[in-house]
Amino acid sequence: MRRAARAASPLVVGIAAVAFLARLLPVLRGGGLMGVLAYDDGVYFGGAEALVFGRLPYRDFLLLHPPGILLALSPFGLLARWTTDSTGLAVARLAFMAVGALNATLAYRVGRRLGPVAAVTAGLFYALWQPAVYAERTTLLEPLVNLGVLASLLLLGDGRSTSRRQAVAAGAALGLATAVKLWAVVPLGVLLGWLLLRRRRSAALPYAVGAAAAAAAVCLPFFVLAPARMMRLVVLDQLGRTNNGISTWDRLAGMTEAGVVAHVVGAQLPLLTAALSVLGVLAAALVTWRCPPARPWCALLAAQTALLLSGPSYFSHYATYVAPALALVVGAAADLARRALRSRARVLQPVAVATGVLAALTLALVTQLHPEGRTRPDREVRTDAASVRCVAADTPAILEVSDLLAHDLRHGCAVLVDPTGLTYDQDHGDLAAGNTVVARRADVEWQHRLTRYFARSEAVILQRGDPDGLSLATLRSVARQGSADRHRRYTVYLLSQ
């Protein structure tokens, strides 16, 4: 046993290193650790900073998810308060890349239940699968949800010898994940059902208690302070989202490497290629179902895929939701294929190894095809904006990478942590179905709310190209209030008060 553990240690370190570098390098080649990488990561980090400055989610600012992400990011929010916003954000991004590396090693550990081939395949697949790499390069919800899923699977083991203490810990892992994003309820329910089907009620009850206690410990204090608003934002507003126009087929294609390649290189995805990719995943799941220890993984993959396909909205980073189950199913399928070749066609074993190496190299190449993010505003932009008391922006990440968010919070300025999230917390009929950016341009109420927010500030920084859906009327309203200083990627408006 000890010899096997020593042999596995270099593999674990190698998988972790591959995963971390796969997430770091595209960022360094793109916007950098202090660049604008996404929209949502700025929302969550901005909320964490607001929290450490004494502003509470739901009561004082809009947050459309449970508060777990803010608590996870609060140490980095404190770092930002003590140093600079961009320093705290950069360190937080490195920490979330490390979470991605940890997730890859957990996939390896869970896959070891079937043997070394399944373990290595699962670990490397998770480390290099582009949707997981994309989501775990910065401070998004999905890395923590996947951490909870994989930790729960590892603690439960095969379900036959799970102690009560392990069951409580496994439930707590997914309970904490649910306190980050409600979608974690699905894997929580699947694994609870699996325990009940295996007649492991002695583990099922502690598992459920652990989950409920962990989720309540995180969420209940915030709920007590703003019960009605938290319920509306976290549950009702999410259920009331309109369809953002991503078809079932596009969602399925986005969960496969073929769809990811087409998106990254900007090509039209051939129907046959995408269909073969989807069928390949389906075949792997069906083959894996023959292996009893892997059946919970197949059930997880089916349930989580169903949620992604049936939800009203879909964005590219959502695909990583299925990453743990998909990696384990692929690992199990690889192990079953190895066994079949060993007993029937030894001559094909070198071909199988070469195919696996080629697949890993292809996954690695896909993750590096596209640099991530845009660079932070120039020093001149940051200096101009910092000369005034309150600064607004169309996306919170701009304030963070410009070292202006803590500046605003210290001065008691109005800080809109999630500008586009306002569209989900208003009359749902205002936001039409279809492309979200296009729908926002026609959302008169949202445009008016953004206009009022900008007017309360002394400077406004907007991204060139208007990716968030600001209408021409809103942009003209800002321009009329002051002078514009246009830079390569951003425009700074100094408003006359």
pLDDT above 70 (res 300): yes
| pLDDT at position 467 | 64
Mean pLDDT value across residues 375-403: 86
Which residues of 325-466 form beta strands (DSSP E)? 391-393, 459-463
Single out the residue in 304, 336, 367 at which a domain terminates: 367
Closest CA to 181 of 129, 140, 217, 150: 140
Alpha carbon separation from 235 to 148, 221, 231, 241, 317 (Å, rounded)? 21, 17, 6, 10, 21
Q: Are residues 220 and 252 located together in one domain of the fold?
A: yes
Closest CA to 474 of 453, 454, 447: 447
Number of domains comprising the chain: 2
Residue 200 lies in a domain: yes
Q: Are residues 107 and 222 located together in one domain of the fold?
A: yes
Q: Are residues 152 and 235 located together in one domain of the fold?
A: yes
- Region of poorest pLDDT, from 21-35, 323-337, 348-362: 348-362
d(CA 483, CA 463): 16
Pairing relationship of beta strands 482-486 and 490-495 according to DSSP bridges: antiparallel
Residue 373 lies in a domain: no
CB-based contact 448:482 (threshold 8 Å) = no
Residue carrying structure tokens 């190209």: 465
Q: Are residues 138 and 254 located together in one domain of the fold?
A: yes
Q: What percent of the chain has pLDDT over 70?
A: 88
d(CA 392, CA 78): 21
Q: Are residues 348 and 420 located together in one domain of the fold?
A: no
The model's confidence at residue 255, banded by pLDDT at 50, 70 and 90, is confident
Residue 122 lies in a domain: yes
Q: Are residues 337 and 390 located together in one domain of the fold?
A: no
Tokens of 461: 């920084």
Q: Are residues 355 and 425 located together in one domain of the fold?
A: no
Taking the alpha carbons at both ends of the chain, their separation in whole angstroms is: 72
| pLDDT at position 1 | 44
Residue 17 lies in a domain: yes
Closest CA to 276 of 301, 296, 258: 258
Q: Are residues 43 and 88 located together in one domain of the fold?
A: yes
pLDDT above 70 (res 208): yes
The model's confidence at residue 169, banded by pLDDT at 50, 70 and 90, is very high
Q: Are residues 358 and 426 located together in one domain of the fold?
A: no
Residue 143 lies in a domain: yes
Q: Are residues 201 and 289 located together in one domain of the fold?
A: yes
CB-based contact 187:195 (threshold 8 Å) = no
CB-based contact 99:135 (threshold 8 Å) = no
pLDDT above 90 (res 340): no
The model's confidence at residue 215, banded by pLDDT at 50, 70 and 90, is very high
d(CA 102, CA 88): 21
Q: Are residues 345 and 427 located together in one domain of the fold?
A: no
Alpha carbon separation from 233 to 39, 69, 228, 414 (Å, rounded)? 18, 15, 9, 19
Tokens of 121: 């395949």
Pairing relationship of beta strands 482-486 and 459-463 according to DSSP bridges: unpaired
Angle at 272 between CA 271 and CA 278, to 5 degrees: 90
Q: Give me the domain span that covers residue 483.
A: 379-495
Single out the residue in 367, 391, 412 at which a domain terminates: 367
Mean pLDDT value across residues 34-56: 95
Residue 372 lies in a domain: no
The model's confidence at residue 122, banded by pLDDT at 50, 70 and 90, is very high
Inter-helix orientation angle 68-82/40-52, to 10° = 70
Residue 70 lies in a domain: yes
d(CA 480, CA 450): 15
| pLDDT at position 439 | 85
List the 391-393 sheet strands across, edge first: 391-393, 459-463, 490-495, 482-486
For 62, list phi and psi in degrees, rounded to 5: -80, 130
Residue 286 lies in a domain: yes
pLDDT above 80 (res 349): no
| pLDDT at position 179 | 98
SS3 of 216, please? Answer: helix
- Region of poorest pLDDT, from 251-265, 326-340, 348-362: 251-265
One-letter amino acid of 308: L
Task: Say if pTM beats, i.e. exceeds, 0.95.
Answer: no
Q: Are residues 104 and 206 located together in one domain of the fold?
A: yes
| pLDDT at position 47 | 97
Single out the residue in 341, 367, 393 at which a domain terminates: 367
